[in-house]
Amino acid sequence: MSDKKPERRDFLFTATYAVGAVGAAAVVWPLVDQMNPDASVKALASTEVDVSSLKPGNTITVLWRGKPVFIRRRTQEEIDVARSVKMEDLIHPEKDEDRAKNPEWLVMLGVCTHLGCVPLNDKGDYDGWFCPCHGSHYDTSGRIRKGPAPWNMEVPKYEFVNANTIKIG
Amino acid sequence: MSDHEYTPKSKAGKWFNDRLPLLTLANHLTDYPTPKNLNYWWTFGGILTFCLITQIVTGLVLAMHYIAHADMAFESVEHIMRDVNYGWLIRYIHANGASMFFLAVYIHIFRSLFYGSYKSPREIIWIIGIIIYLLMMAAAFMGYVLPWGQMSFWGATVITNLFSAIPLVGEGVVTWLWGGYSVDNPTLTRFFTLHYLIPFLILGLVVLHIWALHVPGNNNPVGIDVKKPSKDTVPFHPYIVIKDGFALLMFMIVFAFFVFYAPNILGHADNYIEANPLVTPAHIVPEWYLLPFYAILRSVPDKLLGVVAMLSAILILAVLPWLDTSKIRSAVFRPLYKQFYWILVADVLILGYVGAMPAEGLYLLIARVATAYYFLHFLVILPVLGLKERTIPLPLSITEPVLGGSPNMAMAKKKESKIE
């Protein structure tokens, strides 16, 4: 093979294989992509929540894109604790100021970043959240402090439409 | 395939066989020479075939009544249990059948580990077996999701989230698996499709597994090659058929006990609560047959490494024929390996136990030690042992120890001299 000069036939074979491979890939792609979120799933992009009834120290859980979102109205004490933590003590360093623009309101996906369970309120070694599945502890800012989860609980895009309504997404 | 030429007796049979040699195949399967010293641990291949057929037949029937939709799945399973004629029986056979399937496959795998059945020339049989085992786990997991109870939903969430540990593309892969931003209806329908497909893939692989087995023939408790056909072998029918049949009957008694007297003991009560994406059950546990691997996953404090450790624990089995450096197959002639074998059995049982317990304190410590030992067994003990171990001399044929009354030649010799 190696000492022979490529012939016209070798070129034809290679060209045929290449066209065949491109064709096969073009056919396979729709079969793969059909499994991605469809238009109807993507359409459920945002949700509005009335938070007027929430007292300090209370949390409500709402469903957004099939996932729970925690909305917590934090007490002053919780805010102080969350803001006084040193960055070097954090597994995934994020300032509380960046996570909760309005310090009284913490809005985040109630999904443990380990394997997706819903952590429990007011539990754990840091008085924030505790994931019962594999023992991840989160602080009052929803930041991971102890356990197998790699990241802090995610803060979704949200905004206050008015004083009593939060729009998530 | 056959060791001798076969000609059907009837003219019609010959006419057909010349065109499609099915009768030659049937004759091969009937006459297939089998080592005559096979013990009852060798009956689990037949038992597993029974399990697969049972799951396919009961599954087919369940699929006639089940509705794969997030809003209706849970109710349709209750409908099967309450309204469908014998629905309770068929569903309990299918649900417990999965457990029985795994019970049998674990005995089958550990038999292979004890008698060295994975060694040359049977590596391909072994690897096909491991692929079947992986597919079984996938099928069992997806089947467990279908009733859409709390354990179904959260089990699906946790297991699919394992893929999010993949660097860079992990999140995209998980979204692709879900068909959404969480486990939901698209996830359920594709799991149902795959759950229906996989048993037939397994069936195809079982054919290859048996085909690959019939090339070198069965290993045996003594672990030495047999000449076939010879006085060392008996034809598969009727000898092995009857023995397999008897073992199957015994197995069915155990199976029936679970189906009729403790149909829910192997399941989890939380799965009779409909799936709720807002509440995670306090304690998520997989089905018992996945617990050892679950314990390994949880014993590693890092997400990615935990997933890697869990997958490695299974995939390491595929390279076992090359990790075990000993040329001697049967543990009967490997006094040290025999001890390490039983330690491994205990280790896996311990992993299974701590996998069911909360991952904290002493349990976590035990899980970590047991995980470390599991890998130590395959990566260090087996390669070194094969080179260092002083084995017991092998008998010349499988008939010799049978006539001498012991699989150990030295013992057999002793007995012979006593008789003399």
- The per-residue pLDDT for range B130-158, each reduced to its tens digit, is 999 999 999 999 999 999 999 999 999 98
Is B30-284 assigned to CATH 3.40.1690.10?
A: no
A169 touches chain B (CB under 8 A): no
What pLDDT shows up at residue B416?
A: 52
C-alpha dihedral (B339, B345, B346, B348), degrees to nearest 10: 140
pTM more than 0.90: no
The pLDDT score that the predictor gives to residue B402 is: 61
Q: Do A38 and B281 touch (CB under 8 A)?
A: no
Contact A36 B306 (CB under 8 A): no
Q: Which two tokens stand for residue B314?
A: 């299974």
pLDDT at residue B373, as a whole number: 98
Tokens of B152: 């179904």
A114 close contact with B: CB closer than 8 A:
yes
Partners of residue A149 in chain B, C-beta under 8 Å:
303
Please answer yes or no on whether A67 and B181 come within 8 Å at the CB atom.
yes
- Classify A127 as helix, strand or coil: coil
pLDDT of residue B2: 43
Q: Rounded CA gap, B286 and B304, in Å?
A: 20
Smallest CA–CA distance from B301 into chain A, residue: A148
- Quick check: A169 and A47 in contact, CB under 8 A? yes
Whether residue B335 has pLDDT greater than 80:
yes
A39 touches chain B (CB under 8 A): no
| Mean pLDDT, residues A12-35 | 96
What pLDDT, on a 0 to 100 scale, did the predictor assign at position B160? 92
Of B282 and B104, more confident: B104
Q: Across all residues in chain B, what is the average pLDDT?
A: 92
Q: A37, B184: Cβ pair inside 8 Å? A: no
Residue B164 has pLDDT above 50, yes or no: yes
Q: B1 pLDDT exceeds 50? A: no
Determine contact, residues A151/A142, Cβ cutoff 8 Å.
no
CB contact under 8 A, A115 and B302: no
Contact A104, A74 (CB under 8 A): yes
Nearest Cα of chain B lies from the Cα of A45 at a distance, in angstroms, of 10
Mean pLDDT across A83-88: 88
Nearest beta carbon to residue B181 from set A61, A66, A114: A66
> How confident is the model at residue B3, as a pLDDT?
46
Calculate what percentage of chain B has a pLDDT beyond 90.
82
Q: What is the DSSP string of B356-410?
A: HS-SSHHHHHHHHHHHHHHHHIIIIIHHHHHHH--PPPPPSSSHHHHHHTSSSHH
Q: Which residues of A touch B301 (CB under 8 A)?
A: 147-148
Find the mean pLDDT for residues A1-29. Answer: 90
Are residues A35 and B176, on separate chains, in Cβ contact within 8 Å? yes
Residue spans of beta strands (DSSP E) within B152-306: 233-235
Task: Classify B229 as helix, strand or coil.
Answer: coil
Residue A146 in 3-state DSSP?
strand
pLDDT of residue B298: 87
**pLDDT at B259 (0 to 100):** 98
How many contacts, defined by CB atoms under 8 Å, are there between A and B? 88
CB B89 within 8 A of CB B259: yes
Q: What is the largest CA-CA distance in chain A?
A: 83
pLDDT digit string, tens, across residues B50-104: 999 999 999 999 999 999 999 999 999 999 999 999 999 999 999 999 999 999 9
Give the per-residue pLDDT at B285.
Answer: 86
What local confidence, expressed as pLDDT, does residue A133 receive? 81
Pairwise CB contact (< 8 Å): B179 & A132? no
ipTM for the whole complex: 0.78
More confident residue, B96 or B228: B96
Alpha-carbon gap, residue B330 to A41, rounded angstroms: 57
Q: How far away is chain A from the Cα of B278, in angstroms, using its nearest Cα?
A: 6
Distances (CA, A) of B69 to A12, A52, A124, B155, B187: 50, 35, 36, 17, 10
Residue of B nearest to A135 (CA): B359
* Per-residue model confidence (pLDDT) at position B358: 83
Higher pLDDT, B411 or A155: A155
Confidence of residue A47 (pLDDT cuts 50, 70, 90): confident
Say what the pLDDT of residue B420 is: 47
Residues of B whose CB is below 8 A from A65: 180-182
Q: Rounded to an integer, what distance in angstroms lies between the CA atom of residue B285 and that of residue B291?
A: 8
Q: Which residues of B touch A134 (CB under 8 A)?
A: 298, 359
Instruction: Examine the pLDDT at A66 and tell me if it is beyond 90.
Output: no
Across the interface, whether the CB atoms of B186 and A41 are under 8 A apart is answered yes
B259-273, B322-336, B379-393, B395-409 — which is least confidently predicted? B395-409
Of A32-36, A113-117, B22-26, B291-295, the poorest mean pLDDT is in: A113-117
Q: Is the CB of A63 inside 8 Å of chain B's CB atoms?
A: yes
Q: State yes or no: pLDDT of B405 exceeds 90.
A: no
Asked whether the predicted pLDDT for residue A1 surpasses 80, the reply is no
d(CA B256, CA B288): 19
A133 touches B: beta carbon within 8 Å: yes
Residue A92 a catalytic site member: no
Give the H/E segment covering residue A106: strand A105-109
Supply B239's token pair. 């000898």
* C-alpha distances in Å from residue A70, one per residue of A136, A142, A167, B179: 17, 10, 13, 23
CB-nearest to B158 from A68, A115, A149 is A115
Beta sheet of A158-162, edge-to-edge order: A47-50, A165-168, A158-162
pLDDT surpassing 80 at residue B170: yes
Q: How confident is the model at residue B4 (pLDDT cuts 50, 70, 90)?
A: low
For tokens 């004490």, what's the residue? Answer: A77
